[in-house]
């Protein structure tokens, strides 16, 4: 009889076991809300990698600018530093006023690029072209095309950096900072395995589990949804997130302890990749857990499991966030809001803005690389072209040298009055180099009937002067017979040069 009684008791225990387990599980009434909000906690802890793009630096166009220097005039480029840094002179010219061109940031950048070009590993990489080839129409066209490519690259870089700096004030923080603020509060803690829920509790759950307090930070909302606090003595978010705290009371002193249990459950989830789409999905999930609740004295919107009272105060097995303050009931706008949800929406906008700039950055860097590749092709083409096939090399050198000679004549004049009196020169008071304030003025020279090749009193005879009186059959070497005189035909050269330059620019563009 005793044995039969024992077997019967065991059978009853087995039959009752599922009911016990089911009852415990039924107490986990807020696990859906816990899972939904945990997504945001993990996003805040994980942060965002590479979401904030730094400005593009000069390095993005270094190679293109070095190619540009490789086709610069040898006389000018020869003045730039090559290897090493020479001993500073006793008198620093950059201390004088006005400063010479060599003290400008741009000149120093040219020197840095030139030094890199002369480094041991680059000695065979960058070609050195003869003056004959550089001053030929082909060489000048190459110079113009590559210079235009550099200008385009710098404009692309500057425009991107300007756009990057022009974030609207409402998007001043990074998306990671906005998400942290929504979860943990304005202090946005970092670096701790269990970041602190920084906002202070107000003293009673009845006050803290409704707006505005519960709507300020997600961690306060989660405490309202999960914490056991005496009367609410059930594991509504599961036994791990809602353990029995042995008489835990709703005070700020005990806050971090219970938050640690909630955070440990969230941390078990695999961190997702944070981008605008992921955050948008998380925000949408939050909106789906907001529901309507009718109670004895009215109605309200809530998150979680409300009781029979109008608020989410202490009640066994019931825990919620009361959103009545944001509910639209009449023509009067509500005075409260779920602040942390709006902060997340701002983070989403910031991520979308960052994504646009990331795409723009890729477009800009790709375009600059294309310009660099085309410039390299132009340099390679110029390198394969010998001096003869460069076309009209001697005339090209003369064409380039004539304005230089006239410029040098004007540079010798130091006084403003003397300079402006000369029919081909004008005084430039804004020029920093005191030796170059008097400059050749092509427009003034033309209006005063001074040809490009004509020299003033005391100068050497010019090509036009030399050709005067020659017979038509002797009129050669870049000149042509016009009327009764042998005239310089540089206009023909200029037209040919313009066509070649246009072809090079077209080559860069396409």
Please determine, for residue 460, whether its predicted confidence score (pLDDT) is greater than 50: no
Residues 439 and 500 occupy one common structural domain? no
Give the per-residue pLDDT at 509: 45
Q: Tell me the pLDDT band of 25, cut-offs 50, 70 and 90.
A: low
Give the per-residue pLDDT at 407: 86
Instruction: Calculate the alpha carbon distances from 409 to 387, 406, 429 in Å.
Output: 30, 5, 18
Give the per-residue pLDDT at 149: 96
Residues 225 and 281 occupy one common structural domain? yes
Please determine, for residue 410, whether its predicted confidence score (pLDDT) is greater than 80: yes
Instruction: Calculate the alpha carbon distances from 182 to 222, 320, 414 in Å.
Output: 12, 18, 69
Q: Tell me the pLDDT band of 290, cut-offs 50, 70 and 90.
A: very high
Give the per-residue pLDDT at 465: 38
- Asked if residue 114 belongs to a domain, the reply is no
Give the per-residue pLDDT at 370: 97
Written as six digits, the tokens of 187 are: 């202090």
Written as six digits, the tokens of 297 are: 């004295």
233 with 220: CB under 8 angstroms? no
Give the per-residue pLDDT at 266: 93
- Asked if residue 20 belongs to a domain, the reply is no
Return the minimum-mean-pLDDT range out of 96-110, 313-327, 466-480. 466-480
Average pLDDT estimate for 72-80: 88
Integer Cα distance of 362 and 50 in angstroms: 13
Instruction: Calculate the alpha carbon distances from 388 to 145, 383, 397, 490, 496 in Å.
Output: 21, 13, 13, 18, 15
Give the per-residue pLDDT at 89: 58
Written as six digits, the tokens of 144 are: 């113009």
What CATH number did the domain enclosing 413 receive? 3.30.1680
Residues 181 and 43 occupy one common structural domain? yes
- Asked if residue 67 belongs to a domain, the reply is no
Last residue of a domain, one of 337, 358, 383: 337
User: In 466-499, which positions are buried (b, 16+ CB within 10 angstroms) versus exposed (e)?
Assistant: ebeeeeeeebeebbebeeeebbbbbeebeeebee
Most confident of 16-25, 131-140, 427-436: 131-140
Q: By residue range, what is the domain housing residue 201? A: 27-50+175-337
Please give the share of the chain, as a percent, with pLDDT higher than 70.
75
Q: What is the CA radius of gyration of the chain?
A: 40
Written as six digits, the tokens of 365 are: 């860097």
Q: What is the model's pTM?
A: 0.62
Most confident of 103-112, 245-254, 382-391, 427-436: 103-112
- Asked if residue 296 belongs to a domain, the reply is yes
Average pLDDT estimate for 306-327: 83
Nearest to 238 by CA among 214, 258, 220, 265: 265
381 or 470: whose pLDDT is higher? 381
Integer Cα distance of 470 and 151 in angstroms: 46
Residues 252 and 291 occupy one common structural domain? yes
Residues 230 and 200 occupy one common structural domain? yes
User: Average model confidence (pLDDT) for the chain?
Assistant: 78
Please determine, for residue 389, whether its predicted confidence score (pLDDT) is greater than 80: no
Q: Tell me the pLDDT band of 233, cut-offs 50, 70 and 90.
A: confident
Nearest to 126 by CA among 80, 86, 83, 70: 70
Looking at the structure of the chain, the number of domains it has is 3
Residues 264 and 413 occupy one common structural domain? no
HSE, CB side, 13 Å, CA atoms: give it for residue 281. 8
Integer Cα distance of 266 and 284 in angstroms: 19
Written as six digits, the tokens of 190 are: 């970092």
Residues 219 and 296 occupy one common structural domain? yes
Strand pairing of 298-305 and 290-295?
Answer: antiparallel
Written as six digits, the tokens of 53 are: 């793009």
Residues 310 and 438 occupy one common structural domain? no
Nearest to 154 by CA among 56, 86, 242: 56
Residues 250 and 266 occupy one common structural domain? yes
436 with 408: CB under 8 angstroms? no
287 with 301: CB under 8 angstroms? no
HSE, CB side, 13 Å, CA atoms: give it for residue 294. 0
- Asked if residue 393 belongs to a domain, the reply is no
Written as six digits, the tokens of 306 are: 């409300």
Last residue of a domain, one of 337, 363, 395: 337
Give the per-residue pLDDT at 491: 37
Residues 453 and 478 occupy one common structural domain? no
pLDDT in tens, 236-287: 999 999 888 665 778 888 888 889 999 999 998 888 777 888 889 999 999 9
Instruction: Calculate the alpha carbon distances from 14 to 9, 18, 55, 322 in Å.
Output: 9, 8, 69, 41
Please determine, for residue 109, whether its predicted confidence score (pLDDT) is greater than 70: yes
Integer Cα distance of 225 and 242 in angstroms: 9
Last residue of a domain, one of 337, 354, 371: 337
Cβ neighbours around 197 below 10 Å, total:
25
Please determine, for residue 17, whether its predicted confidence score (pLDDT) is greater than 50: no
What three-state secondary structure class fits 488? strand
Most confident of 43-52, 81-90, 424-433: 424-433
**Segment holding 481, helix H or strand E:** strand 479-482
User: In 158-167, which positions are buried (b, 16+ CB within 10 angstroms) versus exposed (e)?
Assistant: eebbeebeee
Residues 433 and 479 occupy one common structural domain? no
Residues 315 and 229 occupy one common structural domain? yes
Q: How far apart are the first and last CA of the chain?
A: 102
433 or 284: whose pLDDT is higher? 284
Please determine, for residue 210, whether its predicted confidence score (pLDDT) is greater than 70: yes
- Asked if residue 304 belongs to a domain, the reply is yes
Give the per-residue pLDDT at 101: 81
Chain-centre distance for alpha carbon 198 = 32
């Amino acid at each position: 009889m005793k044995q039969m009684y024992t077997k019967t008791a065991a059978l009853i225990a087995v039959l009752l076991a599922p009911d016990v387990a089911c009852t415990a599980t039924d107490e986990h009434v807020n696990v859906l809300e816990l899972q939904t909000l945990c997504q945001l906690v993990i996003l805040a802890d994980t942060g965002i990698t590479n979401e904030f793009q730094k400005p593009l630096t000069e390095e993005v166009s270094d190679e293109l600018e070095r190619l540009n220097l490789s086709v610069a005039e040898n006389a000018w480029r020869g003045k730039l530093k090559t290897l090493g840094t020479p001993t500073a002179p006793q008198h620093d010219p950059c201390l004088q006023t006005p400063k010479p061109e060599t003290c400008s940031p741009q000149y120093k950048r040219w020197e840095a690029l030139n030094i890199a070009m002369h480094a041991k590993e680059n000695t065979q990489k960058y070609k050195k072209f003869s003056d004959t080839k550089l001053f030929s129409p082909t060489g000048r066209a190459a110079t113009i095309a590559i210079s235009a490519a550099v200008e385009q690259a710098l404009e692309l870089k500057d425009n991107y950096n300007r756009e990057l700096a022009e974030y609207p004030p409402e998007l001043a923080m990074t998306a990671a900072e906005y998400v942290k603020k929504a979860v943990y509060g304005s202090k946005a803690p970092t670096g701790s395995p269990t970041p602190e829920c920084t906002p202070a509790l107000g003293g009673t759950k009845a006050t803290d589990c409704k707006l505005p307090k519960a709507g300020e930070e997600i961690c306060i909302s989660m405490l309202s949804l999960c914490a056991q606090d005496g009367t609410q003595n059930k594991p509504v978010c599961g036994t791990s997130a809602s353990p029995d705290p042995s008489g835990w009371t709703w005070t700020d002193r005990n806050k971090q302890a219970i938050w640690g249990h909630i955070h440990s459950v969230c941390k078990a989830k695999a961190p997702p990749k944070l981008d605008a789409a992921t955050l948008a999905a998380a925000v949408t999930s939050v909106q789906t857990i907001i529901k309507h609740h009718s109670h004895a004295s009215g109605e309200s919107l809530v998150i979680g499991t409300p009781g029979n009272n109008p608020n989410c105060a202490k009640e066994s097995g019931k825990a919620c966030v009361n959103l009545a303050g944001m509910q639209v009931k009449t023509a009067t706008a509500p005075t409260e809001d779920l602040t942390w949800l709006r902060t997340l929406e701002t983070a989403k906008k910031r991520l979308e803005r960052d994504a646009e700039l990331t795409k723009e950055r890729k477009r800009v860097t790709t375009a600059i690389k294309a310009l660099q590749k085309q410039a390299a092709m132009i340099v390679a083409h110029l390198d394969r072209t010998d001096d003869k096939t460069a076309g009209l090399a001697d005339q090209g050198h003369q064409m380039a040298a004539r304005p230089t000679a006239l410029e040098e004549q004007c540079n010798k004049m130091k006084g403003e009055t003397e300079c402006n009196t000369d029919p081909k020169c004008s005084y430039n008071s804004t020029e920093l180099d005191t030796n170059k304030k008097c400059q050749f003025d092509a427009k003034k020279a033309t209006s005063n009937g001074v040809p490009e090749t004509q020299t003033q009193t005391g100068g050497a005879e010019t090509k036009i002067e030399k050709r005067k009186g020659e017979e038509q059959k002797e009129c050669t070497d870049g000149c042509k017979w016009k009327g009764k005189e042998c005239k310089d035909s540089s206009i023909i050269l200029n037209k040919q040069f313009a066509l070649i330059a246009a072809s090079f620019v077209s080559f860069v563009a396409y």
